[in-house]
């Protein structure tokens, strides 16, 4: 990787939008990533970092010395600082604050009174604000002062003298209006408002469904805290769905593609350990039937089929439930109808596949008895799997545990134990001499 190549790469990188630049940096191995990042202009360095995943961003921060961090901090505005606060070494926090002007420091203080998952914490402070007694000409001046690369700034926010939010006005409503008219008369009464204490995911959903390009985020006292734009809403929706997907494998959405081997291994070890416990539970269940297995070795050969069919059927129900819960589609009333439907599906598929498996087993081991036993065990396991697939995520959701993360481990434990127990139990009952 010589200097020429690096320069060519840098030229291409600087042409990208910030979110694309961040993605491109994340897709490089650590050393190359750091070299490219160091070659960027200070302004691009900050915007790349704010758009990167936490882990990827941390892997850059760790490589910087205090002098580099200071230079970086000098480029940060209040929103950058809020986004990067976690990764910034605490000793630099005061320095970073001292570089902000008074109004930005005030925004920072207010934002920090909110939790990390609340809209008030991540409200964007780069917004057009006008006083209630302003006129159309002031609004026009404000819109004309926007930089060329302003994003989703088609709306200005109106406050009263005490900083309380009074409404939003979109640029298109002001077109062709007399410049002396009060801005107040163009406020859009329909525009909803995001409560600063609202969960960031819910706030993002609200913005994305509202049809507005940005909504005001407002404190309990009615003060304007900032805005939540459709661009940020989209990033949050993306992050939240990506995390649902990553959680199914016990991973975090912040996981860096090129995390250092040791760190990555340490994190994943936890997930493997949890799964090992469930595997031992399954093994222990099998261990209960050692005598049976010794006598009828066909049971040992066939037993993974029972566990696997239950696991697959259950995970289908589980996945449907997780989506339904995330979309807030599962209510007390619909829940029973859903359970009934899933049991119906399980009974039909259980019946179908248990017959198929019983027939194959007969041809393989020449015993209708073993075929019948595996068939019954499979029906039992698939139906239990469907019931658990509905109950487990609901129960986890009530306990405020993410069903996408823990649902499948618990479900697999149940389907393994039930599957082995039903199959080997029936085998012991009917096959032991």
Q: Which of 315, 381, 415, 428 binds its own copies (CB under 8 A)?
A: 315
The footprint of its own copies on this chain (CB under 8 A) covers a number of residues equal to 114
Token digits for 87? Answer: 């990764």
Q: Which of 60, 191, 307, 410 binds its own copies (CB under 8 A)?
A: 307
Report DSSP state, residue 16: S
Which listed range, 60-68, 79-87, 92-100, 135-143, lies at the site for its own copies (CB under 8 A)? 135-143
Site for its own copies in 402-421 (CB under 8 A): 416
Q: How far is the CB of 213 from its own copies (least distance, A)?
A: 5
Q: How far is the CB of 292 from its own copies (least distance, A)?
A: 9
Which listed range, 71-79, 82-90, 148-156, 195-203, lies at the site for its own copies (CB under 8 A)? 148-156
Contact predicate 85/57, CB 8 Å: no
Q: Say whether residue 366 binds its own copies (CB under 8 A).
A: no
Which listed range, 73-81, 104-112, 161-169, 304-312, lies at the site for its own copies (CB under 8 A)? 304-312
Give bridge partners of residue 217 from the DSSP assignment.
Answer: 194, 226
Q: Find, among 392, 432, 429, 433, the residue nearest to 412 by Cα.
A: 392
| Closer residue to its own copies, CB minimum distance, 82 or 325 | 325
Cα-based distances in Å from 228 to 265, 298, 350, 433: 37, 62, 48, 72
Contact predicate 351/327, CB 8 Å: no
Site for its own copies in 4-43 (CB under 8 A): 17, 19-20, 23, 26-29
Give bridge partners of residue 223 from the DSSP assignment.
Answer: 164
SS3 171: helix
Which listed range, 94-102, 110-118, 159-167, 305-313, lies at the site for its own copies (CB under 8 A)? 305-313
Classify residue 375 by burial, with Cβ atoms within 10 Å: 0-12, 13-18, 19+: buried
Contact predicate 281/417, CB 8 Å: yes
Q: Say whether residue 153 binds its own copies (CB under 8 A).
A: yes
Q: Which of 77, 138, 154, 397 binds its own copies (CB under 8 A)?
A: 154
SS3 129: strand
CA 281/CA 301 separation, integer angstroms: 19
Token digits for 384? Answer: 């239990």
Site for its own copies in 339-358 (CB under 8 A): 341, 344-345, 348-349, 352-353, 356-357
Which listed range, 60-68, 77-85, 258-266, 395-403, lies at the site for its own copies (CB under 8 A)? 258-266
Site for its own copies in 207-236 (CB under 8 A): 208-211, 213, 230-231, 233-234
Contact predicate 298/366, CB 8 Å: no
Q: Say whether residue 264 binds its own copies (CB under 8 A).
A: yes
Q: Say whether residue 179 binds its own copies (CB under 8 A).
A: yes
Q: Say whether residue 139 binds its own copies (CB under 8 A).
A: yes
Give bridge partners of residue 124 from the DSSP assignment.
Answer: 227
| Closer residue to its own copies, CB minimum distance, 222 or 425 | 425
Residue with tokens 């410049």: 179
CA 49/CA 22 separation, integer angstroms: 7
Q: Say whether residue 176 binds its own copies (CB under 8 A).
A: yes
Q: How far is the CB of 74 from its own copies (least distance, A)?
A: 25
| Closer residue to its own copies, CB minimum distance, 23 or 54 | 23
Q: How far is the CB of 395 from its own copies (least distance, A)?
A: 18
Token digits for 401? Answer: 């545990």
């Amino acid at each position: 990787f010589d200097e020429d190549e690096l320069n060519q790469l840098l030229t291409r990188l600087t042409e990208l939008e910030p979110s694309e630049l961040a993605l491109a940096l994340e897709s490089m191995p650590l050393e190359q990533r750091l070299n490219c990042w160091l070659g960027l202009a200070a302004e691009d360095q900050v915007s790349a970092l704010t758009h990167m995943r936490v882990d990827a961003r941390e892997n850059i921060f760790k490589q910087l010395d205090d002098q580099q961090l200071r230079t970086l901090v000098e480029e940060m505005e209040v929103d950058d600082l809020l986004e990067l606060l976690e990764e910034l070494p605490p000793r630099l926090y005061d320095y970073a604050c001292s570089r902000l002007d008074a109004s930005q420091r005030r925004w920072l203080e207010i934002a920090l009174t909110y939790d990390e998952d609340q809209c008030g914490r991540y409200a964007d402070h780069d917004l057009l604000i006008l006083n209630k007694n302003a006129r159309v000409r002031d609004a026009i001046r404000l819109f004309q002062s926007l930089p060329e690369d302003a994003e989703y700034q088609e709306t200005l926010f109106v406050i009263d003298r005490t900083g309380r939010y009074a409404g939003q006005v979109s640029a298109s409503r002001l077109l062709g209006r007399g410049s002396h008219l009060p801005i107040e008369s163009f406020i859009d009464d329909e525009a909803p408002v995001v409560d600063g204490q609202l969960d960031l995911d819910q706030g993002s959903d609200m913005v994305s469904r509202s049809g507005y390009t940005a909504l005001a985020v407002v404190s309990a006292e009615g003060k304007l805290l900032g805005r939540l734009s459709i661009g940020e809403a989209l990033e949050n929706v993306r992050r939240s769905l990506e995390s649902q997907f990553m959680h199914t494998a016990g991973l975090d959405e912040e996981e860096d593609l090129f995390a250092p081997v040791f760190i990555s291994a340490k994190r994943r070890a936890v997930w493997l350990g949890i799964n090992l416990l469930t595997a031992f539970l399954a093994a222990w269940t099998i261990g209960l039937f050692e005598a049976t297995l010794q006598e009828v070795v066909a049971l040992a050969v066939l037993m993974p089929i029972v566990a696997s069919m239950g696991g697959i059927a259950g995970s289908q129900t589980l996945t449907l439930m997780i989506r339904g819960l995330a979309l807030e589609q599962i209510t007390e009333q619909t829940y029973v109808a859903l359970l009934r439907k899933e049991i119906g599906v399980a009974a039909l598929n259980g019946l179908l596949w248990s017959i198929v498996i019983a027939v194959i087993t007969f041809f393989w081991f020449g015993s209708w008895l073993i075929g019948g036993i595996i068939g019954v065990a499979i029906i039992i396991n698939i139906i239990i799997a469907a019931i658990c697939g509905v109950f487990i995520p609901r129960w986890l959701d009530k306990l405020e545990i993410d069903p996408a993360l823990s649902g499948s481990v618990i479900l697999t434990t149940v389907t393994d134990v039930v599957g082995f127990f039903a199959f080997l139990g029936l085998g012991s009952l009917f096959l032991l001499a």
